[in-house]
Structure 1
Amino acid sequence: MPSIKTSALVWVWLTVLVFVVDIATKQVAEAWLIYGDPIYLLPVLDFTLLYNKGAAFSLLADQPGWQRWFFTFISAAVSVMLVVWMSRLPRHQRWLGIALALILGGALGNLFDRVLFGHVIDFISVHWQNAYFPAFNIADSAITIGAIMMAIDVIRDSLRASKSATASASNGD
């Protein structure tokens, strides 16, 4: 089994940082904000305390309660999968390691909320005039950034493979 020194687990500090910042900001939001009452920061941004009983974009939030345990199980399983993936990923694959660490930190932050409170605490609200993007939190932001990084990694690998195949073909291999 690879060690922290040789695997992407070296980035677990980033997972912990995301988790701590996420939980701290959610607790500040709980303490300072009134549920559903926005505090406007910019014409396109406000802080509004909201609870999400569903998944991303409030998927299944209107269900009677089973979704809490369903999403708890999914989050826990994905978190275990990410730890295993990171433990098997060589340390030199920094970009992907950082992406996985961000996703894991976000998943654990939202899992924490779901287990303790039965919902995820959201408080960042982005909008244009009266068109609102679903509210989100630091965990959601970390997951999104990690997912974008993973997509970039796949595209980069695909471009490298294509370039390598083209070079091999032009060399007569």
Structure 2
Amino acid sequence: MENKKSGLSFLWLSAVAFCLDLLTKYIVVQNFELYESVNVLPVFNLTYVRNYGAAFSFLADHDGWQKYFFIILAVVISAILVCFLAKNPANRKLQNSAYALIIGGALANMVDRIYHGFVVDFFDFYWKTWHYPVFNVADIMICVGAGLLALDAFKNPEKKKA
């Protein structure tokens, strides 16, 4: 019987993304007051904010149900992606890396929601008076994962069967 390695071997990347995100959030919470901002570059600040919603504060102004919705969503999506990793061969590196990064980011933001009741965000990019929504390492991991999935789709299009 041949022992084939699955995409589950990429879960180490999820652990790295998860730990890196929670470590950076811990550093921010321990060293910044809420809304405190430190200018790093002419277009970039480190600014501690709390996000009670999802991306771009989506649903942040609701009465709290969204916290549980996003926790459940993170668990369901992560479970589905773990199943995808289990079915994928290890040589599908782009796709497996993408799934792993998304899992790590989603679970890190979920832990934040469970522990704090909100997600800690701190990367603040801006131009003059325009500010991009503040985000964190987990958000970067999720976006990089989504980008890798798109790249994989273009690089390895599935051949249609006649």
Tell me if both proteins adopt one fold, taking TM over 0.5 as the criterion. Answer: yes
- Offset, 1:116: 1.1
Which residue of 2 is the match for residue 146 of structure 1?
A: 145
Task: State the alpha-carbon separation in 2 of the partners of residues 32 and 91 from structure 1.
Answer: 40
Task: State the alpha-carbon separation in 1 of the partners of residues 98 and 77 from structure 2.
Answer: 14
- Offset, 1:26: 0.0
Cα deviation, 1:38-95, whole Å, max 9, x if unaligned, reads: 1000011110001111011100000010100011111111111111111111111011
Number of residue pairs aligned between Structure 1 and Structure 2 = 159
Residue 138 of structure 2: SS of its match in structure 1? helix
Which residue of 2 is the match for residue 83 of structure 1?
A: 82
Consecutive unaligned residues of structure 2, counting only runs of 5 or more, are: none
Which residue of 1 is the match for residue 108 of structure 2?
A: 109
Which residue of 2 is the match for residue 9 of structure 1?
A: 8
TM-score of the two chains, using structure 1 as the length reference: 0.88
Task: State the alpha-carbon separation in 2 of the partners of residues 105 and 116 from structure 1.
Answer: 16
State the structure with more CA Rg.
1
- Offset, 1:161: 4.4
- 1:149-168 equivalent positions in 2, closer than 5 A: 149-158=148-157, 161=159
TM-score of the two chains, using structure 2 as the length reference: 0.93
Cα deviation, 1:101-136, whole Å, max 9, x if unaligned, reads: 111110010010011111111011111111111111
Task: State the alpha-carbon separation in 1 of the partners of residues 118 and 50 from structure 2.
Answer: 6
Task: State the alpha-carbon separation in 2 of the partners of residues 70 and 134 from structure 1.
Answer: 21
Which residue of 2 is the match for residue 96 of structure 1?
A: 95
Which residue of 2 is the match for residue 123 of structure 1?
A: 122
Give the structure with the higher percent helix: 1
